[in-house]
Structure 1
Amino acid sequence: MENFKSSEKNMGIGEESSSPKTQLILHLIPVIGFFPSLWAVYRCQGSREQLAVSRLSITLAFTWLLGYLLLATGAATSEFFTLRLLILNGFFTSGYFLVSIWLVLRLLQGKSHRLPGLSRFAERVFSKYL
């Protein structure tokens, strides 16, 4: 019976250490991760690392959405640059997805999840307004 209890304790410890990493990965999923990140920042729940990843995820998503809307609007209103702006929009969207996937892979490898410039910008913006 004691072996069973000790194995339960070991499983519990392992689950606790993997749970935050799973939550961090959830926050970094492109587009979908924006919503749990927004909720975590709004409620100020989670560890310091989780809040930093949430801020970065929100900043990436807003940057992508703003760029996407501006390029799509430019493509819709322009006659000459339509194809060029749509191609650029595709590259911009692909870049957002690739950066998000790259951050997930770095997180799985145990490396830093920070992006130079953008992480600092996200912390400044969210510390000012939240």
Structure 2
Amino acid sequence: MKDLPPERRDDFKRLEVFIYLIPVFGFLPAWWTLYRGEASAATRSACRLTVTLALIWLSGYILLGMSARSAEFPVLPLEIANSVWTTTYFLVNFGLMVRLWQRKPLWLPGFEKIGKRLP
């Protein structure tokens, strides 16, 4: 990839970030990139955002699922909340993909401080 012209390298980097933003499945490549620590600052920032979103979604998904299983009251509202939570996660990732496609910075309010705590 080093022998490619700069505009092609940018396209490959954008494609790499698109892969990180795939809901659920992009978590592992993003985490691995953060673990290795060999990426550019922009790529690390996108990986931090992806990992943060995935972990927040997963914790909410598990908590809502456990609440629905152990609830003594009607379960349907919790199941609806769980589906809305998952849909929101997918839509946020899709929105970030659209921003990346438009060559805008990947940014969500409130996630900068959370993501900077990751390596």
Taking only aligned residues, the RMSD between alpha carbons, in angstroms, comes to 1.3
CA shift for structure 1 position 15: 2.2
Unmatched runs of 5 consecutive residues or more in structure 2: none
Structure 1 residues not aligned, in runs of 5+: 1-10
Residue in 2 aligned with 1:12?
4
**Counterpart mapping for 1:107-122 below 5 A:** 107-122=100-115
The residue aligned with 1:60 is: 53
**Which residue type is aligned with residue 114 of structure 2?**
F
User: Matched residue of 1:12: which SS?
Assistant: coil
* Cα distance in 2, alignment partners of residues 113 and 81 from structure 1: 39
Bigger fraction of residues in helix: 1
How much identity, in percent, do the aligned residues show?
36
Aligned to 1:3: none
Q: Which residue of 2 aligns with 1:74?
A: 67
Deviation at 1:120, TM superposition (A): 2.4
- Classify the secondary structure of the residue corresponding to 1:52: helix
State TM-score, norm by structure 2. 0.92
TM-superposed deviation, 1:51 = 0.2
1:15-71, CA deviations, whole angstroms, 9 ceiling, x for partnerless residues?
Answer: 212011111111111011100100000010211000000000000000000000000
Report what 1:84 is aligned to.
77
Select 1:35's aligned residue among 11, 22, 28: 28
Question: CA offset at residue 85 of structure 1?
Answer: 0.4
Number of aligned residues: 116
